[in-house]
């Protein structure tokens, strides 16, 4: 999106989205600032009317009426400005966060692997905060002193042209000096912002790893470590504050000298009979007001530039170009039988190192295929390509004859049910978590899916049944229970194509057996491609592909591959069987039968 290219384009995009509101706001701000200046001028009119010889009471009351009227108008317009500003920034804040959520979630998986989730969420929120801050400074802290300055110069010209030139010069010099000094202090603010970010990151890291902190009795030493970061942050914050206070002190001193000097000058001219008493009052109050406004103006300019740096930094991360968009002419995927085909696919996560080399696989509808092989062979990468989380460097991945790169990503993901090794759950109820797979599903549909996945029993034993909150990332449930909820989701999705990414490898044998029966039910009448580390889980599959270094080394029914004396599958199988025998030695009280190669008859039924 072009408006993510820089801070000012970003701000302008959201201002232009509500042109009438911002135009109204600008008009009200101009009105309020002009009335504020006219209040000072009406004071002059009042004093002149009172000191006129002879004084005419009608003129005095007339001037008083103008003074009161302008004071009321100024207050009213200021309130309207504040109200309009809050309303427009609140609305824009909602739109900004929604737009950013949509854009952010359009990034591909590597983006999320390279940026911490907490930091990204924080960035989305600060983006709308920074927009609000910039708008606030522009309309309430930068525009009013500038308008007041212009109004004051007009009034000064009517009193004394030389005075207006002098005030203009002083205003420009004071404001310019403050801005320059303020930018010098920028380094302190940046240092503080950086250290505050470190403290925030450390806190998030500690809280999300609280288990490790407790398990290693590390609370005290981690608090000490955090204290170090906090003290550095506090020192940086102190340096920033002291710097600002020094500038303020300097400005106050200059202000006293300048207002005193202007007063001496105007009194001299008044005593010479060149100007009226009212002129003396309006010159002194306006000089004071303008010069004081110069400090707020300078501070607001510095703050706006800081907010723009935050905006730029955040847009540089969130606004990165999305690498895998739907093609302009992408059509929804139409799934009929659920066949999967890899045509001469070469793929690497970077262009210079291939993980899969000219891979060609044909999976007919309804076939259950296990992917096995040593770690790093490219098994999970195959599943990633089917879901189009990446595009291959060459070759095509097809589902029912349609290239996954040519269909819409939403339709592709709707057509595939995935059970990952680590099932991700939201901090919501069990019902909501399962229904996530199909938002329109009724409660009865959700229960049916849970029964089919074998998790209805334990859900009913939870304190609030299906309305129980699963805890952050599902921490109130065991690994096996989370896994079965993942299977229930896949059931509810009712997709023709099922991908299992080591769905049981993180579980102990007891949990695995519970999960396996749910999986067996899920796989019936569907095309299944499963990455498996525990070879027993794919013993009853129709076909096994043995991969090594991104190439298919063996391809066949499990019993045929086991029959090959020097085959890799047989070797891997044997290794697992040996592993179990060794664990039997380590734990003699818990006998565990060696994993013997299954006979064809055993292979017919799932384990
Ligand atoms: N996101 C990624 N970015 C860069 N390289 C990656 C990424 N994911 C995997 N790889 C690399 O690609 C290669 C294949 O990884 P893949 O996960 O497909 O293998 P695997 O056979 O599933 O391994 P395992 O059994 O250990 O899960 C490995 O060398 C791995 O380091």
Atom 3 of ligand 1 has which residue's CA nearest to it? 349
CA of 375 to the centre of ligand 1 (A): 8
Q: Is the pLDDT of residue 279 over 70?
A: yes
- With a CB cutoff of 8 Å and minimum separation 6, the contacts of 315 are 4, 5, 6, 7, 10, 127
Structure tokens at 264: 């001496």
Q: Kindly indicate the confidence band of residue 579, based on its pLDDT and cuts at 50, 70 and 90.
A: low
72 alpha carbon – ligand 1 mean position (Å): 70
> CA 86, CA 72: separation in Å to the nearest integer?
21
Give the per-residue pLDDT at 555. 93
What atom of ligand 1 comes closest to residue 533's alpha carbon? 25
Question: Best substitution site from 355, 392, 538, 547 to test ligand 1's pocket, by max atoms within 8 Å of Cβ?
Answer: 355
Under 8 Å CB-to-CB from 326, ≥6 apart: which residues? 408, 409
Contact 421, 505 (CB under 8 A): yes
Determine which residue's CA is closest to atom 10 belonging to ligand 1: 349
Of 112, 346, 381, the one to substitute when testing ligand 1's pocket (max ligand atoms within 8 A of C-beta) is: 381
- Interface predicted TM-score of the whole assembly (ipTM), two decimals: 0.96
Q: Which atom of ligand 1 is nearest to the CA of 373?
A: 21
Residue 372 lies in a domain: no
Q: Is 5 a residue whose pLDDT tops 80?
A: no
Summarize the confidence of residues 518-540 as an average pLDDT: 86
Pick the more confident residue, 284 or 222: 222
Alpha carbon distance 455, 483 (integer Å): 9
> Would you say residue 594 has pLDDT above 80?
no
Residue 577 forms part of a structural domain: no
Please indicate, yes or no, if residue 287 is contained in any of the structural domains.
Answer: yes
Q: What is the pLDDT of residue 429?
A: 93
Domains of the chain: total? 1
Contact 592, 553 (CB under 8 A): no
Specify the pLDDT at position 600.
37
In a domain, 297, yes or no: yes
> Tokens representing 571?
């070797």
pLDDT at 604 over 90: no
For residues 319 and 106, the answer to whether their CB atoms sit within 8 Å is: no
Rounded to the nearest whole angstrom, what is the distance from the C-alpha of residue 289 to the centroid of ligand 1? 66
Helix H segments across 366-508? Answer: 379-386, 409-414, 430-435, 443-452, 456-461, 479-493
Q: Residue 498: beta bridge partners?
A: 417, 528
Residue 57 lies in a domain: yes
Cβ-based neighbour number of residue 410 at 10 Å: 12
Instruction: Point out the ligand 1 atom lying closest to the alpha carbon of residue 531.
Output: 22
Q: Whose alpha carbon is nearest atom 7 of ligand 1?
A: 349
Q: What's the pLDDT band for 386 if we cut at 50, 70, 90?
A: very high
The fraction of the chain above a pLDDT of 90, given in percent, is 40
pLDDT at 583 exceeding the cut of 60: no
Q: Is the pLDDT of residue 601 over 80?
A: no
Nearest CA to ligand 1 atom 24: 375
More confident residue, 169 or 346: 346
| 363 Cα: distance to centroid of ligand 1 (angstroms) | 22
Taking the centre of ligand 1 as the mean of its atom positions, its distance from the CA of residue 548, in whole angstroms, is 12
Helices (H), 209-276: 210-215, 219-271
pLDDT value of position 185: 77
Output the domain CATH number for residue 110.
Answer: 1.20.1560.10
Distance from residue 382's CA to the centre of ligand 1 (Å): 10
User: Given a cut of 60, is residue 586 above it in pLDDT?
Assistant: no
Q: Tell me if 192 is assigned to some domain.
A: yes
* Nearest Cα residue to 286 out of 413, 89, 153, 484: 153
Whether the predicted pLDDT of 112 surpasses 70? yes
What is the structure's pLDDT at 508?
Answer: 66
Task: State whether the Cα torsion 8-10-13-19 is positive or negative.
Answer: negative
- Predicted pLDDT at 190: 75
Q: What is the mean pLDDT of the chain?
A: 85
Q: Can you say how many angstroms the Cα of residue 184 is from the centroid of all Cα atoms in its chain?
A: 31
Instruction: Give the mutation target among 379, 384, 386, 546 for probing the ligand 1 site: most ligand atoms within 8 A of CB.
Output: 379
Query: Which residues lie with the beta carbon below 6 Å from any ligand 1 atom?
Result: 110, 113, 349, 355, 373, 375-381, 531
Residue 350 CA: nearest ligand 1 atom is 4
**Distance between CA 603 and CA 374 in Å, rounded?**
23
Q: Whose CA is nearest to atom 9 of ligand 1?
A: 381
Which range, of 133-142, 159-168, 343-352, averages the lowest pLDDT?
159-168
Query: Which structural domain range is residue 177 located in?
Result: 2-318
Is the pLDDT reported for residue 475 higher than 60?
Answer: yes
pLDDT interval class at 211 (50, 70, 90)? confident
Query: How confident is the model over 151-199, as pLDDT tens digits?
Result: 888 888 888 888 788 888 888 888 888 878 877 777 887 788 778 878 8
What would the pLDDT profile of 7-33 be if each residue is shown by its tens digit?
889 999 999 999 999 999 999 999 999
Atom of ligand 1 nearest to the CA of 378: 18
State which H helix or E strand residue 28 sits in.
helix 19-51
Whose Cα sits closest to atom 18 in ligand 1? Answer: 378
Residue 497 has pLDDT above 70, yes or no: yes
Residue of the nearest CA to atom 11 in ligand 1?
376
Ligand 1 pocket: which of 114, 323, 376 to mutate (most atoms within 8 A of CB): 376
Instruction: Give the highest mean pLDDT range of 105-114, 289-298, 503-512, 547-556.
Output: 547-556
233 versus 479: which is more confidently predicted? 233
Q: Which residue has the higher pLDDT, 360 or 243?
A: 360
Q: 349 alpha carbon to ligand 1 midpoint, in Å?
A: 9
Quote the pLDDT of residue 401. Answer: 94
Torsion of CA 349, 350, 355, 359, to 10 degrees: 90
Is 598's pLDDT higher than 50? no
- Answer yes or no: is 506 within a domain: no
Whether residue 491 contacts residue 453, with contact meaning beta carbons closer than 8 Å, is answered with: yes
CA of 412 to the centre of ligand 1 (A): 22
End-to-end CA distance of the chain: 51
596: pLDDT strictly greater than 50: no
Give the separation between CA 166 and CA 149, rounded to whole angstroms.
Answer: 13
Which among 380, 421, 530, 551 is the best mutation to test ligand 1's pocket, defined by most ligand atoms within 8 Å of the CB? 380
Q: How far apart are CA 490 and CA 500, in angstroms?
A: 10
Whole-number Å distance, alpha carbon 360 to ligand 1 midpoint, is: 19
Residue 210 resides in a domain: yes
């Amino acid at each position: 999106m072009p408006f993510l290219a820089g801070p000012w384009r970003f701000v302008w995009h959201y201002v232009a989205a509500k042109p009438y509101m911002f135009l109204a706001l600008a008009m009200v701000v101009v009105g309020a600032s002009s009335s504020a200046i006219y209040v000072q001028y009406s004071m002059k009119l009042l004093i002149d009317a009172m000191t006129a010889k002879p004084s005419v009471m009608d003129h005095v009351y007339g001037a008083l009426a103008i003074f009161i009227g302008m004071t009321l108008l100024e207050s009213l317009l200021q309130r309207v400005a504040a109200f309009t500003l809050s309303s427009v920034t609140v609305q824009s804040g909602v739109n900004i966060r929604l737009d950013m959520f949509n854009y952010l979630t359009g990034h591909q998986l590597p983006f999320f692997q390279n940026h911490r989730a907490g930091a990204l969420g924080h960035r989305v929120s600060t983006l709308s905060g920074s927009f609000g801050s910039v708008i606030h400074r522009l309309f309430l802290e930068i525009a009013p002193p500038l308008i007041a300055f212009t109004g004051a110069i007009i009034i000064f010209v009517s009193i004394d042209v030389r005075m207006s030139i002098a005030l203009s010069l002083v205003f420009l010099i004071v404001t310019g000096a403050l801005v320059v000094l303020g930018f010098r202090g920028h380094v302190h603010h940046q240092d503080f912002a950086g250290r505050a970010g470190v403290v925030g990151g450390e806190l998030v890291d500690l809280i999300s790893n609280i288990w490790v902190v407790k398990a290693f009795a590390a609370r005290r030493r981690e608090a000490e470590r955090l204290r170090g970061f906090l003290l550095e942050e506090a020192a940086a914050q102190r340096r920033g504050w002291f710097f600002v206070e020094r500038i303020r002190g300097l400005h106050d001193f200059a202000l006293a000298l300048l207002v005193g000097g202007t007063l001496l000058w105007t009194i001299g001219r008044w005593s010479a009979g060149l100007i009226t008493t009212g002129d003396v009052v309006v010159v002194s109050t306006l000089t004071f007001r303008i010069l004081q406004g110069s400090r707020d103006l300078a501070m607001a300019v510095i703050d706006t530039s800081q907010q723009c740096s935050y905006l730029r930094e955040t847009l540089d991360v969130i606004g990165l170009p999305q690498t895998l968009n739907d093609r302009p002419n992408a059509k929804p995927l139409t799934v009929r039988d659920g066949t999967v085909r890899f045509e001469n696919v070469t793929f690497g996560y970077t262009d210079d190192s291939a993980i899969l080399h000219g891979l060609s696989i044909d999976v007919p509808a309804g076939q259950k295929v296990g992917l096995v092989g040593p770690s790093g062979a490219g098994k999970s990468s195959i599943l990633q390509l089917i879901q189009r989380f990446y595009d291959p460097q060459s070759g095509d991945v097809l589902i029912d004859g349609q290239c996954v790169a040519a269909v819409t990503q939403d339709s592709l993901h709707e057509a595939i049910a995935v059970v990952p090794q680590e099932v991700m759950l939201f901090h919501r109820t069990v019902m909501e978590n399962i229904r996530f797979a199909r938002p329109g599903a009724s409660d009865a549909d959700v229960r049916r899916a849970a029964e089919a996945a074998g998790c209805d029993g334990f859900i009913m034993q939870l304190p609030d049944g299906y309305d129980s909150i699963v805890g952050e990332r599902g921490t109130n449930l065991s690994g096996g229970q989370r896994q079965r909820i993942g299977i229930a989701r896949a059931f509810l999705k009712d997709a023709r194509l099922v991908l299992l990414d080591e769905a049981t490898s993180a579980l102990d044998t007891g949990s695995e057996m519970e999960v396996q029966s749910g999986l067996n039910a899920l796989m019936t009448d569907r095309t299944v491609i499963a990455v498996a580390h525990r070879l027993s889980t794919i013993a009853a599959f129709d076909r096994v592909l043995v991969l090594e270094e991104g190439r298919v080394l063996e391809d066949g029914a499990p019993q045929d591959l086991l029959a090959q004396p020097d085959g890799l599958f047989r070797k891997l199988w044997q290794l697992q069987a040996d592993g179990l025998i060794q664990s039997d030695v380590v734990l003699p009280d818990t006998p565990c039968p060696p994993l013997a190669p299954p006979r064809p008859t055993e292979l017919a039924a799932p384990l």
